[in-house]
Amino acid sequence: MALVATQAFAIDTSSSGLNSVQTWLMVWIPIGCALIIIALGVGLMAHMVKLHQLVYPTLGLIVIGSASTLVGYFVT
């Protein structure tokens, strides 16, 4: 009987794994990108980062955050 219960609980692992991936793609990666962009802005205001050094990383983080959100819509 214990073996049957173990097998029944193992069936739902794929959907919970996909929900975890969707959570990472829809929530955590965009929030992380936004926090890094904010940190770069603080570095710019503190004169630690020059403006010309800020353009490509900021654009890259915007693309990464947007792409992960778009991919998250297709992972269901």
Please choose, from the candidates 61, 59, 76, 56, the residue with its C-alpha nearest in 3D space to the C-alpha of residue 29: 61
pLDDT surpasses 70 at 41:
yes
Residue 9 has pLDDT above 90, yes or no: no
Q: Is the pLDDT of residue 12 over 90?
A: no
Whether the predicted pLDDT of 75 surpasses 80? yes
> Which residues does 25 contact at the CB level (< 8 Å), separation at least 6?
68, 69, 71, 72, 75
pLDDT over threshold 90, residue 45? yes
Q: Is the pLDDT of residue 27 over 80?
A: yes
Average pLDDT, the chain: 85
Q: Is the pLDDT of residue 37 over 80?
A: yes
Query: Looking at residue 25, what DSSP letter applies?
Result: I
